[in-house]
Amino acid sequence: MCALSEEEYNKVHSFISAKQMWDTLALTYEASLEVKHNKLSLLACKYELFEMEESESIQTMFGRLKKIVNEISFIGRTYDNFDHIDKLLRSLPRKWRPQVTTLGASKNIEKLSLEELIGLLKVHELELQQDDAGRK
């Protein structure tokens, strides 16, 4: 009881057994199994439909993807590194297609870490920005 905040304590102070307290707190913070399944379903859909926005930077896009991945793993589902790389490459806009093709042909994508991929994409993003600036 001493480890609980005042708000949490007020929720459970009237219960007699520790089991009742635990069940109430678990339901409050972990939700029911049905709620978990619904959240997982919504997050999986959000993951599958994820795409980079036209005016978005690689770093911002990666942050949004990482947030979705973290929420999914918090609920209990995990994807492997290749799934994340594949998803990230598929989510890039059309102007990135030559770079995606080049990466697929020149690097062993399965051995590439997500951070290495982000680094390579940041370099390409800088090149695209320089090309756009040169055209203006």
- Taking the C-alpha atoms of residue 91 and residue 94, their distance in angstroms, rounded to an integer, is 9
Region of 2 (left: φ > 0; alpha: ψ -120 to 50; beta: rest) is: alpha
pTM: 0.69
- Per-residue pLDDT of the chain in tens (136 residues, 90 and over written 9): 667 788 887 888 888 888 988 888 877 776 667 777 888 899 999 999 999 998 899 999 999 999 999 999 888 888 888 888 889 999 999 888 988 888 878 767 778 888 888 998 999 899 888 887 777 6
Which sequence spans correspond to the domains of the chain? 33-135
Question: What amino acid occupies position 105?
Answer: A
Residues 6+ apart with CB under 8 A from 82: 109, 110
- Taking the C-alpha atoms of residue 121 and residue 123, their distance in angstroms, rounded to an integer, is 5
- CB-CB contact of 1 with 9 (8 Å): yes
Q: Which two tokens stand for residue 101?
A: 């093709």
What integer pLDDT is reported at residue 30 of this predicted model?
A: 67
